[in-house]
């Protein structure tokens, strides 16, 4: 079964990843906008991509892999060009949603995250 984790904010993300051990399993990270009171992200593209990503994780992610959902903050926080997620050399975020394989080249951004075929390839690829 895929291990799922949730982290909110840059400092929490850095702390979580510093101590995280994937035990050899792929570490897939989704960066998305913070949730509103209705439970959905303020980011329309993130809301649109969510069911595609959830389905791909359930049907294509390897059993021993990890899926970490990271909340990049509210709209003003994300739109700040000095946002730490944008500056971090490990994340290089320019759009959300962004799905990455930690410390590997696999990456889907924006509308790509709502493409079932690309998601299947992303989760099926070995490191």
CATH of the domain at 82: 3.40.30.10
Residue 127 confidence (pLDDT): 54
Active site (annotated) includes residue 113: no
pLDDT at res. 55: 96
Domain that holds residue 88: 3-61+68-124
pLDDT at residue number 126: 67
pLDDT for 23 equals 83
From the list 43, 56, 70, 99, the catalytic residue is: 43
- Number of structural domains in the chain: 1
Q: Which residues contact 104 (CB under 8 A, 6 or more apart)?
A: 127
C-alpha distances (whole Å) from 110 to each of 21, 23, 58, 68, 73 are 28, 29, 20, 17, 17
DSSP 68-126: EEEE--SHHHHH-TT-HHHH-TTT--SSSSEEEETTSS-EEEGGGGG-HHHHHHHHH--
Q: Which residue in the list 26, 29, 30, 46 is annotated as catalytic?
A: 46
- Each residue's pLDDT, cut to its tens digit, for the chain (127 residues) gives 899 999 999 999 999 999 888 888 899 999 999 999 998 999 999 999 999 999 999 999 998 899 999 999 999 999 999 999 999 999 989 999 999 999 899 999 999 999 999 999 999 876 5
User: Which two three-digit tokens encode residue 106?
Assistant: 């696999």
Please give the model's pTM, rounded to 2 decimal places: 0.94
């Amino acid at each position: 079964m895929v291990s799922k984790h949730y982290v909110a904010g840059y400092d929490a993300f850095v702390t979580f990843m510093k101590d995280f051990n994937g035990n050899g399993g792929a570490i897939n990270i989704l960066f998305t906008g913070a949730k509103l009171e209705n439970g959905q992200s303020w980011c329309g593209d993130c809301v649109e991509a969510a069911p595609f990503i959830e389905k791909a994780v359930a049907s294509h992610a390897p059993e021993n892999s990890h899926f970490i959902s990271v909340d990049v903050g509210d709209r003003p926080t994300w739109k700040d060009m000095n946002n730490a997620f944008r500056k971090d050399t490990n994340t290089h975020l320019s759009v959300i949603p962004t799905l990455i394989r930690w410390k590997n080249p696999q990456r889907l951004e924006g509308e790509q995250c709502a493409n079932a075929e690309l998601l299947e390839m992303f989760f099926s690829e070995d490191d």
